[in-house]
Structure 1
């Protein structure tokens, strides 16, 4: 209890020291988005045990839940606030004569450090289970869902790395950039849906998320102002487009992938997902001023600071918490198994969420310090650009290899061996590039980037 009180006091002091000019609404949106994503993933898990464990997606077996994904699919919000924060930290870094390499090394460190810890733990646990003679199918069944968050991380890391050149495009062309990216998404959709060209829309994995990220740039520099005459029409336009494209158009209602649907709105992202992103952007702008006023209270702001201090840990470990919860509740018979979609099933979602929240809280207590720890400021010397490029390539290749492998046992560690090797090699190169001493990398701007 003493440790908890000390941690609470540290967070309160950190909240009290927040600069007056910080846009607290952005931090609130990030915290809410990650909380909703975690809750949505947990609610989508359906498990049965009949001597063996069997998992399913609730969206596949309870169709009436699919419209609820309009509320739970909030990844666009995360990319929106990511664009805002990345633009702010990059601008600060530039003002202090920092370069793109130093900024990239600093910005990716907060993502790569906790991810490396997750993959190291999963790899070690899987190898230990393999050595102990565990069924490889069971190892694969445990490691694959634990690695689900890496889908998102690969896309977000890519837009972070592309922030310097994309921000330069934004400074020159403004809102024309996300409009062009949205047109590319539409062209990819058209080629896939009407011309039946295989893989024609794979570029949407990048174009769609870049488009939302660019909206964050526009919000940060005022080209997309938080004013009602702008926010309300934007929200309504996005909602009308979403209804038109899904209810009357060719896109499915579900904003999360569901089985037996030819089109998946997230894999790859579609115009329908961009319509949802537009509606969410308008709503975020609309709530900006009242949210900032509310967050002047030390209580709610401290809660937001607490979530943001371990936000990657929460996201990365939440499916591991689900795996541990399944093992604790179902083989032991502690949680009944009523038919999915029934009233009793709905009521049992509450203790299910409570147990998973408790497990995740313990995981965050153990692994959260890895994310909160601030390493030395990067001082990239000669060759840092090449090291950074190769390191980022390795990390992205590893994350994509793990994400694309799908369910199953793919090697001694459960996950694909080559992808794990690429990731760990890339992470090591980025670490080396950060620690290698060279010329100044921006000094105070690095601290500003860390705070953002």
Structure 2
């Protein structure tokens, strides 16, 4: 608590506290959504099995419009990455050092998760566990990594995409939107592979809008000027009340048109058996939801920013943000631990999905998982907090020769590529694949090489 209070007192006056709240709220809603949706029961043969509550709760699928808040994280990420890159370059920093700083918080906690799962899987395999069962469990525990692979990718592309945004503004997300639409058409026509690029294009659209939000604030404070070309290709997001209401209404109308009238499913998360998936990869329907969320965010910006000037709510936001990635990465491991304990005593309560008893048990289930997650965050959270402190305390950017900077930039890009490739390989590997280490060998090799390069470069700064 002392550390949180200290960070709150040192908060710069000009910090956009609203962004920190949005980041924390987005992750917490995702966690609660997963905990509510994932149901572990005994099947007819007495074995544990995982079912998706939304498969039976068709009426609850529109509620995913509330709990699908990953777009908010990418929106906030775009704003934060643009601000951080701009500040770094203003201090004379280069792209490589900025990328290394941005990777530190993401890579450290993720590496701990992957190594823990690999070691645990190895112990299980040596104890005689079926490698298919090992892979199934690890696949469930690494569900959060699909999001992280996309986010690491857009962070790595920021030094290219933000200058492009500064040049041609909203033309970039417009082109990306067309590519997403083309991918959706391919899926609707039965050519799913055509939509593979949407895994990147969809999230980049939202990330670019975050750039535009940052530029709106930056230009309003007088730190940047517009020229004729920029007036023709606007790059600032309108943030006034009329614009916010318009975005909200357009997003809501688009959602209704695409999901109720059109061919897209109403739910914004993956539900087994559906012909289309709005989140994997992102669809036009998910981007309509992001538009609705953006309008609501802009509408609430000023009153919530004023509220966050109070000490208590701001300390709470700082406390959550200090360990928010740890919470996200380990929240499904808490499910495994709780199920393991309940299974040992042969007491895993269940009820027909959707009934009053089931909802009461769900509330107790979520509360119990929060209790189980707390010690995990207590033990593992300091890893994330240390990386945050180290990056915040770096006020001066190291300088090097042009050739050395080019080499470090190239190695940094290779490191990012390795990390993304490793995470993507894990996501694409079937749950039924017999993986003795739970994780595909390609995941471990690509990820650890990439993470190792990034760590080595951070430790050998000139």
TM-score (normalizing by structure 1)? 0.92
Q: Is 1:145–1:323's contact at 8 Å kept on the other side of the alignment?
A: no
- Residue 72 of structure 2 is matched in structure 1 by 77
Q: Structure 1 residue 198: deviation in Å?
A: 4.1
TM-superposition CA deviations, 1:177-234 (whole Å, max 9, x none): 212211211122123324x434111111111100000111111111114321111111
Q: 1:392 aligns with which of 416, 430, 453?
A: 416
Q: Is 2:136–2:431's contact at 8 Å kept on the other side of the alignment?
A: yes
Aligned pairs for 1:267-346 within 5 A: 267-346=280-359
> Aligned in 2, Cα 1:135/1:188: closer, same or farther, shift over 3 Å?
closer
Matched, 1:154 2:154: no
TM-superposition CA deviations, 1:374-407 (whole Å, max 9, x none): 3475858622122212211111111001111131
Q: Is 2:187–2:276's contact at 8 Å kept on the other side of the alignment?
A: no
Aligned pairs for 1:220-231 within 5 A: 220-222=214-216, 223-231=236-244
Q: Structure 1 residue 331: deviation in Å?
A: 4.9
Aligned pairs for 1:181-196 within 5 A: 181-194=176-189, 196=190
**Unaligned 5+ runs, structure 1:** 1-7, 439-452
* SS, match of residue 351 in structure 1: helix
- Residue 435 of structure 2 is matched in structure 1 by 411
Q: Is 1:266–1:273's contact at 8 Å kept on the other side of the alignment?
A: yes
Q: 1:234 aligns with which of 223, 230, 247?
A: 247
> Aligned in 2, Cα 1:360/1:380: closer, same or farther, shift over 3 Å?
farther
Q: Is 1:380–1:436's contact at 8 Å kept on the other side of the alignment?
A: no
> Aligned in 2, Cα 1:380/1:406: closer, same or farther, shift over 3 Å?
farther
Q: Is 1:126–1:412's contact at 8 Å kept on the other side of the alignment?
A: yes
Q: Is 1:409–1:415's contact at 8 Å kept on the other side of the alignment?
A: no
* SS, match of residue 114 in structure 2: helix
Q: Which moved more, 1:151-160 or 1:410-419?
A: 410-419
Q: Is 2:95–2:409's contact at 8 Å kept on the other side of the alignment?
A: no
TM-superposition CA deviations, 1:35-56 (whole Å, max 9, x none): 0000001111111125310111
> Aligned in 2, Cα 1:414/1:275: closer, same or farther, shift over 3 Å?
same
Q: 4+ residue stretches of structure 1 with deviation over 4 A?
A: 375-381
RMSD over aligned CA atoms reads 1.6
- Residue 15 of structure 2 is matched in structure 1 by 22
Distance 1:101 1:11 in 2: 30
- Residue 113 of structure 1 is matched in structure 2 by 108
- Aligned residue-pair number: 430
* SS, match of residue 200 in structure 1: helix
Q: Is 1:151–1:400's contact at 8 Å kept on the other side of the alignment?
A: yes
Q: Is 2:252–2:288's contact at 8 Å kept on the other side of the alignment?
A: yes
Q: Structure 1 residue 315: deviation in Å?
A: 0.6
- Residue 95 of structure 2 is matched in structure 1 by 100
> Aligned in 2, Cα 1:437/1:17: closer, same or farther, shift over 3 Å?
closer
* SS, match of residue 352 in structure 2: coil
TM-score (normalizing by structure 2)? 0.90
Distance 2:154 2:410 in 1: 19
TM-superposition CA deviations, 1:349-377 (whole Å, max 9, x none): 11100111111111110111111113475
- Residue 124 of structure 1 is matched in structure 2 by 119
- Residue 220 of structure 2 is matched in structure 1 by none
> Aligned in 2, Cα 1:359/1:189: closer, same or farther, shift over 3 Å?
same
> Aligned in 2, Cα 1:283/1:73: closer, same or farther, shift over 3 Å?
same
Distance 1:152 1:366 in 2: 23
Q: 1:424 aligns with which of 448, 455, 459?
A: 448
TM-superposition CA deviations, 1:19-76 (whole Å, max 9, x none): 1111111110001000000000111111112531011111123222211111110000
Q: Structure 1 residue 330: deviation in Å?
A: 4.1
> Aligned in 2, Cα 1:325/1:409: closer, same or farther, shift over 3 Å?
farther
> Aligned in 2, Cα 1:142/1:191: closer, same or farther, shift over 3 Å?
closer
Q: Is 2:156–2:413's contact at 8 Å kept on the other side of the alignment?
A: no
Q: 1:350 aligns with which of 334, 356, 363?
A: 363
Matched, 1:367 2:380: yes
